[in-house]
Structure 1
Amino acid sequence: MPPHVFADRSAAQPPGRGSVDALISQTRRLKGDMDAVRLGAPADRTDPRGRWQRALYELARHQLDDLDAHLAQLRDGPPPTPSDPVAPAAPEAERRASLLSRVGSAEWNLLTDEALWSEELYGILGRDPAAPALTLDELPSLVLEEDRPKLTAMVTDCLVDSRPIDGEFRVVHPDSGPRTVHMMGEPVLDAEGGTASMWAVLRDVSELRRSQREVRESHDSLQRGRHRAQAEHRLTTELREAVMPSWRGPLSLPGRGPGSLDLAARRLPAATASLIGGDWYDALELPDGPTLLGLGDLTGQGPAVTSHIAMMLGALRGMAMAGTGPGQLLTWLNQLLDATVQPALGSALCCRYRPDTRTLTWAQAGHPAPLLFRAGTGRRLHAPQGVLLGASAHAVYRQAEETLEVGDVLVLHTEGPVPGDRLLGLAPRLNEARTAQDCLRTVVEECGGTRRDHDACVLVARVAR
């Protein structure tokens, strides 16, 4: 199409070949860098953030491919014919032709009502190249009905108010369904300043808009996932604090006296606040004077594991109040956990202490044994038989007994605070402590510098004098 001459100025001339070559080189360097980054992107398609990143890479690649082809056309002129001896190599020619086929041009002469379309525009709009070009009045027939007012407004503004055209509409392509077309154009003025014709460049941006939609959708999915995770974390935190607060300090039991237990407990949060796990503890004064001590760790995170903890604490207290011994109690907890809709694994420690005889009866399910501190030394109690809760529906849990002495300190803990041997090294300091709260503070200070991947619980019981 020959350059248009406006009433007040000549059409701008294309930039020099050297400056365009420099732009092409920069674009291709960017494409190489983009490919390197894209290849290093996460391959996990289930990760919302990874999907969003890959969608952005694809969008940027589409834009760089288009820019490369448009700059090459600006430098080289119209695409060469297959018979042209200086035509590029076949793969490069095919790639460039494919990209350039998405750009067409048109001119509508208002004086003669003639329309002139480029060959590429016929393909973009899905028209037979042998058919006559559509006039401006006929063009809306190709456009989706809901987009026709938009096209009419753009053309009217250009012809009546001499405004440039820059907008998009969708056309019904007979071979590929709806296509999105971006139209840019200007009025051509005659010597008196009136509009003599209108020209436009039309570009098929369907793939580009598809990539942009994927970016938006993946970003929206990422945001929804974040909102769900935040809501779930908030719900889990509220449930957890309702079931078992992070800090309870001294655990007051009514039956205080010689031989009774002075108790203190604390839940130690994970280094990452979002990782709320399944660690739990409990202490309860039972009928006729015994004390129940319980502590454990369920697999999983979030509201599901918190609801499991609430269920287990309710069952633990109910069975203990009915007089069930630790071994039988763990057996029934194991069957309960195995029968839940969402089975889980868990370790547990269950102790029953009688202050009148200072007898500790206990059982464990795949859990570290209690640490006993006496007269400045410490040891781990010998553990009876017991597998993880939920590992076997017919598991049997044995019991062990230990007679405590006034001033003894028991430390029950879940996996994770610090290694047991390191805790045993606290024996001299625990021997000097006056209360269970002082003992707990000593243990927590020792655990304070340890980075934990999940929550941990510590329960301290000191035999009162």
Structure 2
Amino acid sequence: MPSHLSADRPAPQPPERHAVDALISRTRRLRGDVDAVRRDTALIDEEDAQMRWQRALCDLAVHHLDDLGTHLGQLREGLPPEPPQTPEQPTDSSALDASDETPDRSEPGSLIGRVGSAEWNLLTDEVTWSEELFEIFGRSPEMGPLSLDELPSVLLPEDQPLLTAMVTDCLVDGRPIDGEFRILRTDGRMRTLHMMGEPVLDADGCTASMWAVLRDVSELRRSQQAVRTNHDSLRRRQHRAQTEHRMAVELQETVLPPWRDSLRLPSQGVGALDVAAHYLPSRSSSLIGGDWYDALELPDGRTVLTVGDLTGHGIRATSAMAMLLGALRGMAVAGIEPGALMGHLNQLLESSVQPALGSAVCCRFEPSTGVLTWAQAGHPAPLLFRDGKGRPLLPPDGVLLGATSGVAYEQDEVHLLPGDVLVLHTDGLNRHGRRDAGPDALLALAPRFAQARTARECVRTVVTEFGDTERLDDACVLVARIRAQGTAAHA
């Protein structure tokens, strides 16, 4: 192909071979490192948008490095040697080394054949295509190259005006060509080509021919599109997660009791409860779950205490929690016993459109007698602290809510004394999220509970002990302290 350089422009000197060799070696090492990362992302969860995006970025980086390695190899070799006149194979060691370092054209994914050149001579109508360009177009050399008039025929119809405009600007106005278009090969495959070229001027400054380099960028563009698609999908997923998290937080704050300081229940009479509670989020603030706590004064002066936990996280869990807590409050006001109340909640979860599993404990306290009636559904038993010592209450029978139908829940009674502290909690409070950790860490707080004057002080002790723990799940704690007649609560 004739040079497009004008006579008054000095030809560029080839770069030092050892410098290019160093660049090639560094590119190969980097390509190997990126390919190792890409292999690590090969077996991923297709539902994970972030992992899909990371894999697409790795694929794109590999394509770029492949192209860079090919271009550096061409830079090192310079102009291709003249074809041998005899069938004898070269024995020069440098020639053998060069052939070893040149990728096999038949190798899958090889970039040889992705770059080709062409020249269209306007004076003789001669068209010259490189061998690689025939491969790019899927056209046999016997068919001959395409003229500038024939070239648009292999383009997609919507891309033909773009090519025509680029060629016209080059031949008429002398503008360089730099654009992309899509072709439909004879084998039915569509490829995306990037074309760069310039007019070649004769001695009088007129356009004598047009040369161009065409590069098959199909895989590169597919990788770029995969990156954009997965990135957009990841952003949409993140936005949706943020929206759902905000809705879950707002729903949780709306449903759970708004009181922050100690609460006296009932507000009048002797033997009242001093109640305080706190919600402890997990180490990931996005895991807003279905935990709840509640303290409700009934019309007859008794008090209902409850904590519970539904499986799952997000708006689905918090909405189910709101439904369940609303039903619990209604049945408690209606006077339903704790055991029967657990049975109704189990039936409600089982018949829900979105079934879930849950655990709960429900306690009803009679201030005039000090009797606590309670039932549980697969939930940690309340802890009773008295005289500086603590113990879990012996739980009556009760399975998880929503686990099975037609099950009966037992209830039990315990007599509470003035100064007793009752702690209800969800199992997410256990250290490191271990459900088998047991209540030992809470029971160890017995001496500090004995010194506390209010339920709020007890809650602060729990938060101090467990607030910085890396929990895998969120948690709730509710503390009820039996007040003697004439004592007052302090926040």
Give me the TM-score of the superposition, normalised by structure 2. Answer: 0.87
Residue in structure 1 matching 2:441, options 415, 418, 422: 422
Change in CA separation of 1:407 and 1:29 when aligned onto 2, cut-off 3 Å: closer
Matches within 5 A, 1:125-144: 125-144=137-156
**Matching residue's letter, 1:45:** D
More moved, 124-133 vs 165-174: 124-133
Q: CA deviation at 1:97?
A: 10
Q: CA deviation at 1:420?
A: 2.3
The secondary structure found in structure 1 opposite 2:197 is strand
Structure 1 window deviating more from structure 2 (430-439 vs 404-413): it is 430-439
Aligned-pair CA distance for 1:91? 7.6
1:29 aligned residue:
29
Whether 1:325 aligns to 2:305 is no
Q: CA separation in 1, counterparts of 2:257 and 2:368?
A: 30
Against the structure 1 CA distance between its residues 7 and 246, is the aligned structure 2 distance closer, same or farther, given a 3 Å change threshold? farther
Q: CA deviation at 1:306?
A: 0.5
Deviations 1:233-278 (A, max 9, x none): 1111111111116863333545422112221111112222111122
Q: Aligned equivalents of 1:399 and 1:226: distance in 2? A: 45
- Equivalent pair of 1:55/1:218 in contact (CA under 8 Å): yes
Measured in 2, the distance between the counterparts of 1:193 and 1:100 equals 35
Moved more, 384-393 or 82-91: 82-91
Q: Distance in 2 between matches of 1:337 and 1:110?
A: 81
- Corresponding residue for 2:56? 55
Over 3 Å counting, the alpha-carbon distance change for 1:157 and 1:280 in structure 2 is same
List aligned pairs for 1:252-401, cutoff 5 A.
Answer: 252-401=264-413
Match of 1:41, as an amino acid? T
8 Å Cα contact 2:263-2:276 kept in structure 1? yes
User: Residues of 2 paired with 1:303 and 1:118: CA distance?
Assistant: 62
2:175–2:198 CA contact under 8 A, matched in 1:
yes
Q: Deviations over 1:99-146 (max 9, x none)?
A: 222222111122233322223323323445333433323322222222
Indicate if the aligned counterparts of 2:310 and 2:356 stay in contact, CA closer than 8 A. Answer: yes
* Contact 1:376–1:428, Cα closer than 8 Å, also in 2: yes
SS at match of 2:262: strand
CA distance in 2, matches of 1:239, 1:71: 60
Q: Could you say if the C-alpha distance between residues 30 and 432 of structure 1 is closer, same or farther in structure 2, counting changes exceeding 3 Å?
A: closer
- Long gaps (5+) in structure 2: 91-95, 431-437, 485-491
SS at match of 2:165: helix
Shift of 1:401: 0.5
In the other structure, the counterpart of 2:66 is: 65
Amino acid at match of 2:154: L
Which residue of the partner structure matches residue 478 of structure 2? Answer: 459
Alpha-carbon distance, 1:210 to partner: 1.1
Between the aligned partners of 2:130 and 2:149, the Cα distance in structure 1 is 18
In the alignment, structure 1 residue 231 sits paired with structure 2 residue 243: yes
- In 2, the alpha carbon distance for the partners of 1:96 and 1:265 equals 65
Tell me how far 1:23 sits from its aligned partner.
3.0
| Other structure's SS at 1:27 match | helix
Of all paired residues, the percent bearing the same amino acid is: 63
AA matched with 2:478: L
Output the CA distance in 2 between the equivalents of 1:186 and 1:361: 92
Partners of 1:4 and 1:11 within 8 A in 2: no
Q: Which amino acid aligns with 1:62?
A: H
Alpha-carbon distance between aligned partners in 2 of 1:97 and 1:45, rounded to the nearest angstrom: 25
Aligned length: 465
Tell me: CA distance 1:4–1:16, structure 2 relative to 1, closer, same or farther (3 Å): farther
Normalising by the residue count of structure 1, what TM-score does the alignment of the two structures yield?
A: 0.92
Alignment equivalent of 1:124, drawn from 136, 160, 169:
136
* Residue pair 1:7, 1:192 contacting (<8 A) in 2 also: no
CA distance in 2, matches of 1:350, 1:96: 67
- 8 A Cα contact 1:290 1:354, kept in partner: yes
The answer to whether the 8 A contact 2:4-2:199 is kept is no
Choose which of 460, 465, 481 in structure 2 pairs with 1:446: 465
Cα RMSD (Å) = 2.6
CA contact (8 A) 1:246 1:268 kept: no
**How far apart, CA to CA, are the structure 2 residues paired with 1:413 and 1:132?**
82
Q: Give the 3 Å change call, closer, same or farther, for CA 203–395 of structure 1 in structure 2.
A: same
Query: Which amino acid in structure 2 is aligned with residue 144 of structure 1?
Result: L
The one-letter code sitting in structure 1 at the alignment partner of 2:338 is P
Q: Distance in 2 between matches of 1:386 and 1:152?
A: 79
Which moves more between the two structures, 160-169 or 120-129?
120-129
**For 2:3 and 2:157, how far apart are their aligned partners in 1?**
33
3-state secondary structure, aligned to 1:304: helix
